[in-house]
Structure 1
Amino acid sequence: MRTMKQRLFAGLSLLFFAVPGFAQEEAPIPKNVLTLEEVVDYALVQSPIIRQALIDQEIGDRDIKANLADWYPQITASAAGIYNIKLQQQIIGDQLITFGQTYNSNALLEVGQTLFNRDQLFASKSAKYYRQQLQQVTENARINTVVDVSKAFYSILLSEEQLKILDQNLDRLDKQYKDAYSRFEAGLVDKTDYQRASIALTNVKSDRNRMANSFEAKYDYLKQLMGYPDSLDFTIEFDLQAETNKVVEDVADPLILENRVEYRLLQTQQTLNEVQTGYERWNYLPQLSAYYRYNWNYFNNSFSDLYNTAYPVSSVGLNLAIPIFQGGKRVHRVKAAELQVDRGRVEIENLSNQLRTEYSGALADFNSSVYEWQLIRENMEMAEEVYNIIKMQYDEGIKAYVELVVAETDLQTAQINHINAFYQVLEDKLDLERALGTIN
């Protein structure tokens, strides 16, 4: 049978591991093909920036609790021992009197309770706003993570779409090269046609190789932002058509400053500035605390008999400290705190103007990119139509090969420009949502 100590240890072990918070569960790692929502959700849990912000928030909360702990009774114990090498002596009358004993010792138990203290009043009044500030800092980190991760996601998608366009062009150019070479062998055209086709094919192959080699670096960057394990891999998917329709339907909301976390952070800081001003004014108030002491005293000329008899002393009392004059320091501190409040008002006003400017700029960029994307889409459709016509005319011997090369180049350029313009719309939309404060 187990001893009582073993049972107690086993019980405490079970209790320790059963308490939530001592062991943090690992977040499930999404694998295979991931959507933007899955990538962002994982990043909001595992991103190094988010994890650091959450740790900072917990540290701040612990600091607040530590400051508030001074309101509770403070219990201290102390002990001391003294060996008097030479005891004090004094002549009284015609006698030499020795005071004290060779060995002294004491043990003190003291209980203190703060009744009124400006530091504790400040800690109590400001705790709510400090917690609010910590939460807003974490919220700001989440917003930045959403934007950064989304843009990295879009960058990979852009490369994938460009790669698809280059693959399509490679197929067309390869067919054109084979057709031109067959015509040359048949004596229908000179060798310049298939040579031009070879040059165009080689150029597109080079572009495709460069694009394909950039994928690993872009995925590594996205995994870094997400906090995703380097040893694992995934691919991404995106409903391009659904997002296209959604972008066209989107209408920008009016700017509400309170939606911006930066504005709310500054408001919270301004509230703390006002609380700080009150704290400095409280410097004129007295401080009051209560205490209870119990002191065990021991005296003896023999160390072995020192603790045979105790001579206890007990007391209870109040401590009142009234600040009277500090050389004008309190006046200057109050004035400095008031000036800090004035500065905060100017800072809020300046930030408000900055946010309005940022919003108007983001809105202008978004509207411009949407307009440009729609024009470029029309150009792409036109370039595709022109290419098909010229290709048909070239096959019939009506057009020269050089015109087909020009049409092919125009089509590829229009396709690349179109996909670049669309992903610029997505990025500008993200910036507009951040400017509006609507990213959750």
Structure 2
Amino acid sequence: MSADNTDHSARGSAPWGQSPQSPPAERAEKAFTELHGHAPEGVWSAPGRVNLIGEHTDYNNGYVLPFALPHRTAVAAQRREDGLLTVASLGDDGQFQQAEPVRVADLRPGSPRGWAAYPAGVAWVLAAEGVPVTGADLVISGTVPTGAGLSSSHALECATALALLGLAGIDPDQPGGPGRPRIARWVQRCENEFVGAPTGLLDQTASLCCVRGHVLFLDVRSGESEQVPFDAEAAGLEVLVIDTRAKHALVESAYGDRRRGCEQAARLLGLPSLRELEPAGLAGALDRLPEPLRPLVRHVVTENQRVLSTVDKLRSGRLDEIGGELTASHASLRDDYQVSCLELDVAVEAALAAGALGARMVGGGFGGSAIALVRAGQRAEVERAVTAAYARHELTAPRLFVAVPSPGAGRD
């Protein structure tokens, strides 16, 4: 999970719910050719993600249940032999934004900053892990909505990781390759150590490992995963994403505060992580903790149980019964973890009042997006209700689209 709701517009994200006239990979390839005068060696892309349920559990070694969005970020790449890394991003207006070229050997955490830190940080981590990064020209184009809490930064990092590995002749899925779970940890290291964001493993694992038509049930502690079928269309349902278009200043500091609070609680309880705390022992554990830490612990333990309950229902084809878990998750995030905000609460409450089967905020909180599980025939009604509720509260109109579980990262 990422705390990042920042608008990284330099990454070339398309307007909400829309795509450029051609797919991101095609746009990136054409842009590379225009900028460098020849075609790239290859193009790799990675998706954003929606987390169906399991929020703020990944950095507590818990359970998560994300799926990949159809929106992708593509990286067209060409190997260099002089150790230089160049990065350019194609905007929706067709204009390039180019970062200052930098030598891979000179990369250090905190430099460069801004949007270029994400691909540069990936190069830094891969080089540190022994991957022969001899330099590269990268050109980026994408449709992952930025600033919406849907992991645009991780889509960029995962696409960059596969591109640099591909240029080095390394296929992550072949025998002897690093494997996608290991690459996800490399991307996490990029976020934690180079960019300086204390993220868990949810976002990068989803971008790299999700498959079409499924949600990814991931046990972060063990690394074990299961692709669980999720065919909303067959059930007459849709997952509606509601971008609140809100970002509050507390997001990054509050995210770190809550993670540190969870770690402190685990230490006080003598546990490696809050994952080890079973529901049966929750009440007794809360009695042993200072009051400020109790709600954090209660959320993590109950959220893990909600993930397990959701997975159980999906395995038995009861997709239309998971709404209660989604709504309970939002209540816990709002009341115990205290990471919601007016815009998220208005979206969830309006969707539920209009007939949604369940709804909740997704991502780090304090803005970003919410999701609502709706019957296909009621989606327009729910959209109208949410938009009207925003108008009544004098909030900026939300942006909405339907999310469908899509393929993970790969070469285009």
TM-score range, shorter chain: under 0.3
* Higher RCO (CA-CA < 8 Å; seq separation 6+): 2
| Structure with the higher fraction of residues in strand conformation | 2
| Structure with the higher fraction of residues in helix conformation | 1
TM-score (structure 2 length as normaliser): 0.19
TM-score (structure 1 length as normaliser): 0.18
